[in-house]
Amino acid sequence: MTIKVRNRLNLTIFILSLIFLIFAFVFIGYQHIYTNFSLPEVFLTNQTSNNFLFGYNPYVVILSILFELFYAVLVLFLVRRNFFKTQSSIVLFFITYLTGCVFDSFRILIPLFHISGTFSQALLIIGDTSLFGRLLSTFSLMMIALFTLDDQPVQTDRNLLLLIVFSLFVAAIIPMNTAKILPTFNVSYGYSHIVFILIIIVEVLSVFTVFITNYRNESSQLQTLGFALLIAGYMLLIYTTNLFMLIIAYILLGVGTGIYMFQLHNNYLWR
């Protein structure tokens, strides 16, 4: 993929994500002012706490989804600004990771359109889209780690296509239970524990790969630190159910992304 095509892709995703973010804010504001904004009934496995910081709060979940979408829009803009002329597979898969965040944020449509309990096709599509987004982000981070070993823009298009097709395939074959909405406003899906463990394993191996690469190249481990904080913040954000988790996720994701992008920029600047 040429730099020109990648930048056009980045710009397109940025514009569509920004439109989605504005729509979500406007629609939520409209419902609060002119209609009764109601939250979906969620399936809670444990007894909820009334603690302000640690208790389950559905409004915090909405804030976490909006922040995930805002984060994707902001970083897509920063990627375009700082890596506009950089030929790199890592930058491409970083854009793909952010695109996965946008797809995961589609779960906000469940409370916005009040479709929980409807067993509708729309609910099924939102569930599949959100799961696809999480898988896409997870495996994109894995690809970033692998290309840190040797960032040669060879067969990037094929690797990107395989990544998208694989994530779509996995999301499509996993059954959705539209009768149950999880506390994170995800549609309940089968093999959730296996998917969670798989995501954890992939993320840990990705951080380990970046660490080993920087160690062998005698490079600064600040890049590894930023990458690890980014992943930790992302994991907390997509599973946020209370204010404490949201605050920690906000800090980790913001600091981690900032450190990683700064180190990545410096690496290409000195090449």
Amino acid (one-letter) located at 131: L
- Residue 59 CA to residue 270 CA, distance in Å, equals 45
* 47-56 per-position pLDDT tens digit: 666 777 888 9
Q: Above pLDDT 90, what percent of the chain?
A: 65
- Mean pLDDT over 94-119 rounds to 91
Residues 6+ apart with CB under 8 A from 113: 122
Q: How much is the pTM?
A: 0.93
DSSP symbol at 89: H
Does residue 209 carry a pLDDT above 80? yes
pLDDT recorded at residue 265? 86
Report whether 264 contacts 95 (CB < 8 A).
Answer: no
Angle between helices 156-173 and 121-149 (to 10 degrees): 140
Which range has the top average pLDDT, 64-73, 105-114, 179-188? 64-73
* 113-156 per-position pLDDT tens digit: 888 877 788 999 999 999 999 999 999 999 999 888 765 666 78
229 burial via Cβ count (<10 Å: 0-12, 13-18, 19+): buried
- Which H/E stretch holds residue 188? strand 187-189
pLDDT recorded at residue 175? 93
Share of the chain residues as helix, strand and coil, in percent rounded to the nearest 5: 75, 5, 25
pLDDT recorded at residue 220? 83
pLDDT recorded at residue 31? 83
Label residue 130 left, alpha or beta by phi (over 0 means left) and psi (-120 to 50 means alpha).
alpha
pLDDT recorded at residue 151? 59
End-to-end CA gap in the chain: 20
